Structure 1
């Protein structure tokens, strides 16, 4: 089976974007917090390690919708999906790293440590190949010619929904 080129590009763009803004929709409205992604399975899911006693975990219990956005100097990604808390000790141990350890020094055995799995339903990316210089040239070209900024843009629906 051939992978969707936009999905392949989205996964590639995200390689150097480990930290994203994780947005939940709780009783007080949208709230975004920075979170480090642990694993991205191209096409379906994303994993995060978090503390069970956080506002974003409480918000997910009320409304499982989530948005995760990532950015770098020359690329941007927006993902929407359904998130849920997953109590899976072997998976938690598999994904555990020193970054998680900084927030939860008791390690994966900490009873407050848990996982959040986001099943991605839709994703979009904007990429300006060539880095900073190409971006500056594209901005200048757009300003001088009245054309739009040159960026690769793609929409994917890895969860099977409409793109």
Structure 2
């Protein structure tokens, strides 16, 4: 936790900024035999109100896994801005035509060639319950210099801001 406590509203706002900047994430589910399985997913651009939305196919392994165990982890890494976010929550799957129309992007046609009429198209909604983020506002060079100074001084490096947020 950072020395100066960030208010919950500020922390939620920061999480929103970080996930929008990263856009691509890893969605981790639990397989039917209990192993963790991660795969890249593209976050659909929407106002983040505690829910994340993804398009997928109803016959995908992730959907089968979510039906057995809906607890998931979603992680974002933005190397350019040196920020990382880990979100935990509960996922549900279902197709809502109105929601799908609102979330649809022409880029999705690569995976779903018939657009919203692609057979088996569905949405995964992750209702986020908690998040943790790490934000390093300094450049890589500044971070490396801090790391070197810390090694000489025998103290841990300043790793930037780290906050936990409940939703």
- Indicate the TM-score class for this superposition, using the shorter chain for normalisation: 0.7 to 0.9
Among 5, 12, 17, the residue aligned to 2:10: 5
How far off is 1:135 after superposition?
2.6
- The equivalent of 1:122 in structure 2 is 130
Deviation digits for residues 85-105 of structure 1, max 9, x if unmatched?
Answer: 021011112111133211111
Q: Per the alignment, in what secondary structure is the counterpart of residue 91 of structure 2? A: strand
In structure 1, runs of 5+ residues without a counterpart are 159-163
Matched, 1:18 2:27: no
Shift of 1:138: 2.9
Residues 1:132 and 1:71: Cα distance change in structure 2 (over 3 Å): same
Alignment partner for residue 62 of structure 2, among 56, 62, 78? 56
TM-score (norm 1): 0.88
| TM-superposed deviation, 1:79 | 0.3
Deviations for 1:53-81, whole angstroms, at most 9, x for unmatched residues? 11001000101101001112211110000
Shift of 1:112: 1.5
Name the SS of the counterpart of 2:64 in structure 1: helix
| Pair 87,148 (structure 1): closer, same or farther in 2 beyond 3 Å | same
Count of aligned positions: 157
Alignment check: 8 A CA contact 1:47 1:115 kept: yes
Cα distance in 2 between the residues matched to 1:143 and 1:42: 39
Task: Write out aligned runs for 1:11-160 (5 A).
Answer: 11-28=16-33, 29-39=35-45, 41-73=47-79, 74-150=82-158, 151-158=160-167
Q: Distance in 1 between matches of 2:121 and 2:92?
A: 14
Q: Contact 1:128/1:134 (CA < 8 Å) preserved in 2?
A: no
**Higher mean C-alpha deviation, range 145-154 or range 111-120:** 145-154
TM-score, normalised by the number of residues in structure 2? 0.86
Conserved in 1, the CA contact under 8 Å of 2:84 and 2:134? yes
